[in-house]
């Protein structure tokens, strides 16, 4: 079989214009016009509006290619599109070979009869997605989110490209994945399914193969080769459609934080008369992942059982990395996954309003131990369940399941995001036909497709859900929950402590990105959060007001614009920390925390912990601490405090915790030591402190509790809490200093304060990959932050780093 990539030497033009532009795939209209400097940056100021207008036109992609006699002599020739965005007519030599209307599908067309020897012309006409959805919406108006172009759910295109409450309305169009010409004789592999069977005595890999043709005169020889992580191979020929391989000395795949991620290579070959016809290669990890959803003392569980162990899932929700898809890359996604591992994630939820990620996304999750919660691409909408639509999404699901199912990282298929909850609680019309259609698609069709094509992966109908059927989908004691009372409901952070969700798969709090990111899309006069441009980059209607409300509840009013951005990030980090630490203290009852959201698709005020440029907000540094496998946390209330240690490891831990009650000068008022022993996969309350002898209505505003966990005699982690809101605490000027040292591999930033302070931020004019930031500091104690030299530009020196640094803390929110 021959596979020829058709990714180069295309031309793009507006369907109503003659001028054309040379492009390589992946390519899109907006991205091409931007690269040709024909339009301004759509992410800058209010240029988004112009980009939306461009999406109202039709465009043409053109390519010429040569066919010789040898290539034309193949019995079968197909043209394969791995991704067209979205509504297209495809022609070769002025003959229509097919059409597309689903960004999420893989399309293949027989073209042998149309091709000729010599020059051939391929034409792909892409029609306006905006015109399409608006026309369909006039015919059949369906409810959805109001932040998007109306009617978006009528088209199988990434919903968020039409706008969301964190994303711009830039519904770009193009050819966003590979195009291939495939020529073959005799036979080819149509599909390979790799499954596993695990028992105490043996571990077995089963390979099922289907070929394009199955008639006797097309009989082919089949071979499977299994290569272990250390290079040892097992080769087996087989005649039927399936075979099994037993694994000797199996190497088990584990999520991040629990072990290694060894991957086996499975290669399937078909041949005829000792001539190779086709081969398929996949990488797998030996593991079991189940979801336990069973009645228990609190309601009904929702927990991931990995290799027999119930593990607490820690992570965030992942959205598309860019609104302009040609800018996606393996290197960029690699950084997102590395940032997730650095923050102690073991799970990412691929949210259902975007698109199914690239193959390399799942490869990177495999290699880094990140379990993927995979939504099907449906979100917050009623869908037009015509027969054609139903058949379209059926094939979409089959295409994506076959593409993704072998990955070690795949942990769950989920039917949709918030559709069940929306139909039950969002005030939409209570129509029987809509509910019947919902049940048909999400609780029958997709469930059955998963059962047929990936029976080893758990299917869940919606997120959130209690199991389906519109039966109390927001029940906090059953299934998974999206909790938004902190933020949308403007409840205090402590509200999280009232709930012991079984699995909180979405909750969040907004913050602005840092000043450097804001400068990328504004001019000086825009830098007020209520300016038109700042509000243009704030897609959640009244979010800026919510940020100010929470700010007024917790902090003094910031002295300038930059400090306001900083303070918003402190609010976000503290809010999410309150929830996560509470749920991890209740390990066993609550078994998962996925905050909203991990990343951004453009520079914007949002719920992300990492902004569009990859800069960590305070939340991501906090996540590194509150998702640490060994969590030291304090639950404070009035003049009391309880100290906990949560141990996510598969082995028990021992150590000691030292606690100190201090005043704002860091003088010690009381102290104590607790020897600890915490079993595997356990949260343990170590002590309850009644500190009323020292804390009263006067001293609570200048007293804090510090706890330090020691393991093997060395400090492992630290936690500090106030007994008042930060705005009321009597912070003294910390007079912070920072000194830089270096060794062969690192720069060390040594931070010191002369009085207790919180939320110390190390600022730099360059992006420094800091080991920690936004930390608390007691007086006269040194906090050492490291920067890896191999993550820095070669031109950076100790001197240039020193010159780039500044610090600030909570004290500096209102004071100079």
Same fold, 2-184 and 189-284: no
pLDDT in the model for residue 216 = 53
Q: What pLDDT does residue 172 have?
A: 97
Indicate the CATH number for domain 2-184.
2.60.120.260
> Could you tell me the two tokens for 383?
């869908």
Render pLDDT for 651-663 as a digit per residue (tens, 0 to 9). 999 999 999 999 9
Neighbour-count burial of 105, counting CB atoms closer than 10 A to its CB (0-12 exposed, 13-18 middle, 19+ buried): buried
Task: Note the CATH number of domain 649-724.
Answer: 2.60.40.10
pLDDT value, residue 206: 96
Run of H or E residues at 49: helix 48-54
Quote the tokens at residue 691.
Answer: 């500190």
pLDDT at residue 796, rounded to an integer: 85
pLDDT in tens, 76-103: 999 999 999 999 999 999 999 999 999 9
- Please give the C-alpha separations between residue 664 and each of 24, 728, 786, in angstroms, as whole numbers: 61, 12, 27
Distance of CA 458 to CAs 288, 293, 421, 451, 761, Å? 11, 10, 20, 9, 42
In 369-464, which ranges are continuous DSSP H helix?
387-404, 419-425, 432-438, 446-453
Name the CATH superfamily housing domain 289-308+315-626. Glycosidases (3.20.20.80)
Residue 793: its pLDDT value, please? 83
Number of neighbouring beta carbons within 10 Å of residue 802: 13
Is 192 within 8 Å of 242 (Cβ atoms)? Answer: no
Low-confidence ranges of the chain (pLDDT < 50): 217
Residue ranges per structural domain of the chain: 2-184, 189-284, 289-308+315-626, 649-724, 731-816
Q: Is the peptide bond before 86 cis (omega within 30 degrees of 0)?
A: yes
**How confident is the model at residue 791, as a pLDDT?**
87
Average predicted confidence (pLDDT) for the chain: 96
How far apart are alpha carbons 426 and 422 in whole angstroms? 5
Report how far residue 11's alpha carbon sits from residue 766's, in angstroms, rounded to the nearest whole number.
39
- Residue 361 confidence (pLDDT): 98
| pLDDT score, position 516 | 97
What superfamily in CATH does domain 189-284 come from? Answer: Immunoglobulins (2.60.40.10)
Short-list 593, 604, 594, 579, CA closest to 511: 604
CATH for 731-816 (2.60.15.10, 2.60.40.10, 2.40.50.660, 3.30.470.20) = 2.60.40.10
Sign of the C-alpha dihedral computed for residues 403, 405, 411 and 417 taken in this order: positive
Residues in the chain: 816
Indicate left, alpha or beta for 735 from its phi (over 0: left) and psi (-120 to 50: alpha): left
- For residues 83 and 61, give the distance between their C-alpha atoms in angstroms, rounded to a whole number: 14
Distance CA(753)–CA(777), nearest Å, equals 7
Residue 463 token pair: 């997120």
């Amino acid at each position: 079989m021959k596979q020829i990539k058709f990714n180069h030497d295309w031309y793009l033009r507006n369907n109503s214009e003659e001028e054309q532009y040379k492009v390589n795939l992946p390519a899109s209209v907006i991205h091409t016009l931007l690269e040709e400097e024909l339009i301004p940056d759509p992410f800058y100021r209010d240029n988004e509006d112009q980009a939306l207008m461009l999406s109202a036109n039709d465009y043409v992609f053109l390519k010429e290619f040569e066919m010789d006699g040898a290539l034309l002599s193949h019995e079968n020739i197909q043209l394969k599109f791995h991704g067209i965005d979205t509504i297209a007519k495809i022609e070769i030599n002025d003959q229509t070979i097919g059409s597309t209307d689903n960004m999420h599908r893989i399309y293949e067309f027989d073209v042998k009869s149309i091709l000729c020897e010599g020059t051939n012309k391929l034409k792909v006409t892409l029609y306006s997605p905006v015109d399409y959805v608006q026309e369909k919406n006039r015919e059949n108006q369906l409810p959805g989110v109001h932040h998007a172009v109306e009617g978006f759910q009528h088209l199988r295109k990434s919903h968020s490209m039409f706008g969301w409450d964190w994303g711009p309305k830039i519904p770009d169009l193009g050819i966003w994945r590979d195009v291939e010409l495939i020529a073959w004789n005799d036979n080819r592999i149509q599909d390979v399914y790799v499954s596993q069977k695990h028992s105490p005595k043996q571990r077995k890999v089963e390979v099922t193969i289907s070929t394009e043709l199955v008639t006797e005169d097309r009989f082919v020889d089949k071979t499977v080769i299994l290569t272990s992580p250390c290079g040892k191979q097992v080769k087996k020929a087989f005649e039927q459609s399936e075979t099994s391989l037993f694994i000797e000395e199996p190497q088990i795949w584990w999520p991040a934080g629990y072990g290694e991620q060894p991957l086996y290579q499975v290669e399937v070959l078909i041949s005829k008369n000792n001539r190779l016809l086709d081969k398929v290669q996949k990488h797998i990890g030996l593991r079991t992942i189940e979801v336990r959803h069973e009645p228990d003392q609190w309601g009904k569980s929702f927990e991931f059982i990995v290799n027999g162990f119930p593990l607490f899932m820690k992570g965030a929700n992942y959205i598309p990395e860019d609104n302009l898809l040609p800018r996606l890359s393996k290197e960029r996604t690699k950084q997102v996954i590395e940032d997730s591992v650095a923050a102690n994630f073991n799970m990412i939820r691929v949210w259902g309003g975007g698109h199914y990620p690239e193959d390399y996304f799942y490869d990177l999750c495999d290699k880094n131990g990140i379990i993927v919660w995979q939504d099907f691409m449906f979100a917050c909408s009623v869908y037009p369940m015509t027969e054609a639509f139903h058949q379209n999404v059926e094939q979409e699901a089959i295409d994506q399941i076959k593409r993704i199912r072998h990955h070690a990282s795949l942990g769950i298929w989920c039917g949709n995001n918030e559709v069940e909850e929306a139909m039950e609680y969002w005030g939409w019309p209570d129509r029987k036909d809509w509910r019947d259609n919902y049940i048909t698609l999400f609780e029958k069709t997709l469930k059955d497709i998963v059962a047929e094509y990936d029976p080893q992966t758990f299917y869940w109908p919606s997120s959130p859900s209690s199991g389906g059927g519109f039966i109390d989908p927001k029940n906090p004691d059953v299934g998974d929950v999206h909790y938004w009372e902190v933020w949308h409901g403007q409840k205090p952070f402590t509200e999280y402590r009232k709930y012991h969700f079984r699995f909180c798969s979405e909750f969040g709090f907004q913050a602005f990105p840092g000043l450097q990111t804001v400068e990328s899309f504004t001019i000086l006069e825009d830098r007020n959060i209520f300016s038109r441009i700042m509000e243009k980059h704030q897609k959640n209607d009244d979010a800026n007001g919510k940020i100010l409300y929470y700010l007024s509840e917790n902090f003094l009013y910031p002295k300038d614009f930059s400090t306001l951005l900083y303070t918003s990030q402190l609010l976000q980090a503290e809010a999410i920390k309150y929830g996560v630490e509470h749920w991890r203290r209740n390990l066993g009852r609550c078994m998962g925390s996925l905050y909203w959201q991990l990343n951004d698709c453009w520079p914007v005020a949002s719920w992300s912990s990492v902004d569009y440029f990859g800069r960590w907000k305070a939340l991501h540094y906090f996540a590194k601490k509150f998702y640490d496998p060994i969590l030291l946390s304090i639950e404070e209330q009035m003049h009391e405090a309880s100290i906990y240690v949560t141990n996510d490891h598969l082995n028990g831990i021992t150590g000691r915790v030292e606690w100190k009650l201090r005043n704002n000068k860091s003088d010690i008022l009381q102290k104590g030591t607790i020897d600890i022993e915490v079993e595997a996969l356990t949260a343990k309350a170590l002590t309850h402190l009644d500190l009323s002898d020292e804390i009263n209505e006067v001293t609570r505003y200048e007293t804090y509790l510090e706890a330090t966990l020691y393991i093997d005699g060395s400090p492992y982690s630290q936690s500090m809490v106030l007994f008042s809101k930060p705005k009321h605490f009597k912070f003294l000027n910390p007079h912070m200093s920072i000194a830089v040292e270096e060794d062969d591999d690192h720069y060390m930033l040594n931070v010191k304060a002369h009085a207790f302070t919180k939320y110390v931020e190390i600022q730099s004019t360059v992006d420094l990959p800091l080991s920690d930031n936004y930390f608390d500091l007691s007086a006269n104690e040194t906090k050492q932050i490291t920067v890896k030299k191999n993550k820095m530009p070669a031109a950076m020196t100790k001197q240039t780093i020193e010159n780039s640094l500044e610090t600030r803390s909570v004290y500096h929110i209102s004071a100079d």
